[in-house]
Amino acid sequence: MAPATGDLTAAVGRAQAGDDEAFRLLYRAVQPGLVRYLRALVGEDADDVASEAWLQIARDLGSFRGDVDGFRGWAATIGRHRAMDHLRRQRRRPVSGGRVEDLVGLPGVEDTAGRALEAVASGAAIAMIAALPRDQAEAVLLRVVMGLDAESAGRVLGKRAGAVRMSAYRGLRRLAQRLEAAGPDTAGLDPAGDVRARGLPR
Amino acid sequence: MRFTGCDADRGGGAGGGEMSNQRTRRIDRVTAEQLLRGVPVDAPGVRGGGVERRLAGVLAAAAAPVRVGELAGEEAAVAAFREARLGPAVESRRQSMIQSALAKLLTVKVAALTIGFTALGGVALAAGTGTLPTPLDKGPSAHPTSSPSAGSREGAGGPESPRPSPSLKGKGAGSKGTPSPSMVGLCRAYAARPVGARGKALQSPAFTALVTAAGGKQNVAAFCKVVLAAKASGAPESPAAVRPTEKPKSSGAPVEPGGKASRPAPSVTPTARVSG
């Protein structure tokens, strides 16, 4: 079980007071979502960028104010800034826009509904979402994997909540279309999508 | 769940085009909001089945519990946190060290990328013409113990088992006595270690070939990054393997707090839907 929200909020306070273990708890709670979100921006470099983000989080934690939901949003903002810096250094566009061919090939999610999904499906699902137009991918990932509400996601993206909602809805619709286009018996998940959907600028 | 088209799952096939699908059925905002919040599709009042169920499956998978490797930076992050406690003087000095290290790493990456791509081209050419030279003649079996994890991964990975290492040739370093069949496999094994344990891992004989090929322990991280990136972009036949989801030696990795294997929290809400 994941630590409860209240425990994590307490951990924010303890980490700000210098408690290593509390910081570790926050890392474990937030890092998986953060790195998955960053994957939509910088592809395979997401791990590196997330590491940079954590350096800054560790350094600036004292100046943060808020609960764990606020912390998630703050971490996402820092991660996004680091991702943009990274892209600027590399002088390239964010990774986005996979191909439908990448999305075919795994048994349908119906088959797996009700039991734990395979870890590999997780990577494929992230790749599939990351392949959406970037504003849609970011909106969906911030909400689904970072667990932010539309308002918080809007603060991360510098947009109004309504704009984020719209992007997220569009993203879901497009995902649904791609799933349908991929055929009835695929979930649109392809393990290889984890790898191949990257590095293919639209 | 309200759809503008009320038909049950009509299962894709027809037309296949995104536009036609968009006309016939469309997920409304209420549904979308529920999906984004992780409300299970088979919750009371929600009509399951069809594309929205599959969509829910994709979103649940995206929010699934932590994967092996995702917490690899934990020790580094905690170390940075500890150092940040030590005070501003240390902190700023440390920060500039980190920055210059990062800058250096990037330079290495760019250089290595160039070399890597050149080398890859060379290998592809050589392989194509059947003139691949021989450091690989020993094959994987010659050193059963040298890289156990790499070997098992490659075996499980199937088709492209032992591959020649592009970098072996490219670097020209240590082409003698390099037993490993696969820098890719070694790099995967290396990358699967927790960051804090990587330095120690490189002292193991299993990684000697990797260290040699990279031109020193300090270069291994950058080297592997390039090898794996080149592998990912240049080898469409290799599925899923770049990001090991099942590390051979996972017990050494930082596990979720309290051994929570079930769903350790990529995010608070969405994971709940997996079981629903």
A80 pLDDT tier (thresholds 50, 70, 90): very high
Last residue of a domain, one of A90, A118, A144: A90
A142 shares its domain with A54: no
Q: Which among A144, A145, A170, A174 is the top mutation candidate for probing chain B, defined by the most B β-carbons within 10 Å of its own β-carbon? A: A144
Give the model confidence (pLDDT) of B182-196 as tens digits.
Answer: 677 777 778 877 777
**Which carries the bigger pLDDT value, residue A133 or residue A184?**
A133
Classify the C-alpha dihedral B211-B185-A190-B116 as positive or negative: positive
B255 interfacial to chain A (CB closer than 8 Å): no
Residue B209's pLDDT is 75
Q: Are the Cβ atoms of A184 and B256 closer than 8 angstroms?
A: no
Residue B270's pLDDT is 39
A128 shares its domain with A181: yes
Rounded distance between C-alpha atoms, residue A143 and residue B205, angstroms: 45
Rounded distance between C-alpha atoms, residue A135 and residue A150, angstroms: 13
CA-to-CA dists, residue B48 to B1, B59, B67, angstroms: 8, 15, 28
**Which carries the bigger pLDDT value, residue B225 or residue A116?**
B225
pLDDT at residue A108 is higher than 50: no
Number of CB atoms found within 10 A of residue B12's CB: 18
CA-to-CA dists, residue A53 to A111, A135, B38, B203, angstroms: 37, 21, 27, 29
> End-to-end alpha-carbon separation of chain B, Å?
17
CA B127 centroid distance within chain: 26
Rounded distance between C-alpha atoms, residue A172 and residue A166, angstroms: 10
Nearest-CA distance A187 → chain B (Å): 6
A154 shares its domain with A67: no
Number of domains in chain A: 2
pLDDT by position in tens, chain B (length 276): 443 433 333 333 333 344 444 443 577 888 888 899 887 666 555 455 578 888 888 899 899 887 778 898 999 999 999 988 765 544 455 555 556 666 656 655 555 555 555 555 544 444 444 444 444 444 444 344 433 443 343 333 334 434 444 433 333 333 333 333 467 777 777 887 777 778 777 877 777 777 877 777 877 887 777 777 766 665 443 333 334 334 444 344 444 344 333 433 444 333 334 333
A139 pLDDT tier (thresholds 50, 70, 90): very high
**Which carries the bigger pLDDT value, residue B108 or residue A135?**
A135
Whether the Cβ atoms of residue B70 and residue A35 lie closer than 8 Å to each other: yes
B117: its two tokens: 């791509």
pLDDT at residue A181 is higher than 70: yes
B38 interfacial to chain A (CB closer than 8 Å): yes
Helices of type H across chain A: 5-16, 20-42, 46-60, 68-90, 109-112, 119-130, 134-144, 150-157, 161-182, 193-196
In the stretch 106-165 of chain A, residues with CB closer than 8 A to chain B read 108-110, 112-114, 116-126, 128-129, 140-141, 143-147, 165
Tell me which chain B residues have a C-beta less than 8 angstroms from the C-beta of A168: 32, 36
Tell me which chain B residues have a C-beta less than 8 angstroms from the C-beta of A184: 9, 11-13
∠ CA A21-A25-A30 to the nearest 5 degrees?
145
Rounded distance between C-alpha atoms, residue A81 and residue B52, angstroms: 33
Q: Are the Cβ atoms of B72 and A47 closer than 8 angstroms?
A: yes
Angle between helical axes of A68-90 and A5-16 (0-180°, round to 10): 70
Which range (A41-45, A188-192, B174-178) has the least confidence? Answer: B174-178
A48: its two tokens: 């590196």
A150 pLDDT tier (thresholds 50, 70, 90): very high
Measured between CA atoms, the residue of chain B closest to residue A60 is B84
Task: Quote the DSSP letter at residue A94.
Answer: P
Question: What proportion of chain A, given as a percentage, has pLDDT over 90?
Answer: 65
Last residue of a domain, one of A67, A90, A113: A90
CA dihedral A42, A144, A162, A152 (to 10 degrees): -80
Residue B253's pLDDT is 41
A118 shares its domain with A85: no
A62 shares its domain with A131: no
A83 shares its domain with A105: no
Burial class (CB in 10 A: 0-12, 13-18, 19+), A35: buried
Rounded distance between C-alpha atoms, residue B30 and residue B7, angstroms: 18
Could you tell me the CATH number of the domain that includes residue A70? 1.10.1740.10
- The DSSP line for chain B is --BSS------S-SS--HHHHHHH--B-HHHHHHHHHT--TTSTT---SSHHHHHHHHHHHHTPSPPTTTTTTHHHHHHHHHHHHT-HHHHHHHHHHHHHHHHHHHHHHHHHHHHHHHHHHHHHHHHHHT---STTTTTGGG-TTTSHHHHHHHHHH-TT-S---HHHHHH-TT-TT---S-HHHHHHHHHHS-HHHHHHHTTSGGGHHHHHHHTSGGGHHHHHHHHHHHHHHH-TT--S-SS-SS-TTGGGSPPPGGG--S---SSSSTTHHHH-
Q: Which of A15, A51, A117 sits opposite B60 (nearest CB)?
A: A117
Amino acid at position A57, single letter: I
Nearest-CA distance A158 → chain B (Å): 20
**A106 within domain boundaries:** yes
Tokens 């060379």, located at residue: B122
**Which carries the bigger pLDDT value, residue A127 or residue A92?**
A127
Residue A59's pLDDT is 93
A86 shares its domain with A134: no
A120 shares its domain with A184: yes
**A201 within domain boundaries:** no
Measured between CA atoms, the residue of chain A closest to residue B259 is A1
**A202 within domain boundaries:** no
Tell me which chain B residues have a C-beta less than 8 angstroms from the C-beta of A26: none
Residue A94's pLDDT is 57
A76 shares its domain with A111: no
A78 shares its domain with A107: no
B44: its two tokens: 């009371």
A14 shares its domain with A77: yes
Which SS3 state, helix, strand or coil, does residue A185 take? Answer: coil
Whether the Cβ atoms of residue A171 and residue B34 lie closer than 8 Å to each other: no
Classify the C-alpha dihedral B199-B203-B208-B213 as positive or negative: positive
CA A189 centroid distance within chain: 17
| Containing structural domain, residue A36 | 5-90
Last residue of a domain, one of A45, A69, A90: A90
B139: its two tokens: 């094959």
Question: What proportion of chain B, given as a percentage, has pLDDT over 90?
Answer: 4
B114: its two tokens: 């160039």
Residue B226's pLDDT is 74
Q: Which among B20, B31, B36 is the top mutation candidate for probing chain A, defined by the most A β-carbons within 10 Å of its own β-carbon? A: B36
pLDDT at residue A113 is higher than 80: no
Rounded distance between C-alpha atoms, residue A76 and residue A115, angstroms: 29
A86 shares its domain with A105: no
**Which carries the bigger pLDDT value, residue A19 or residue B207?**
A19
**A42 within domain boundaries:** yes
What ipTM was predicted for this assembly?
A: 0.79
Q: Are the Cβ atoms of A180 and B21 closer than 8 angstroms?
A: yes
Rounded distance between C-alpha atoms, residue B41 and residue A120, angstroms: 22
**A79 within domain boundaries:** yes
B26 interfacial to chain A (CB closer than 8 Å): yes
Domain boundaries, chain B: 20-62, 118-252
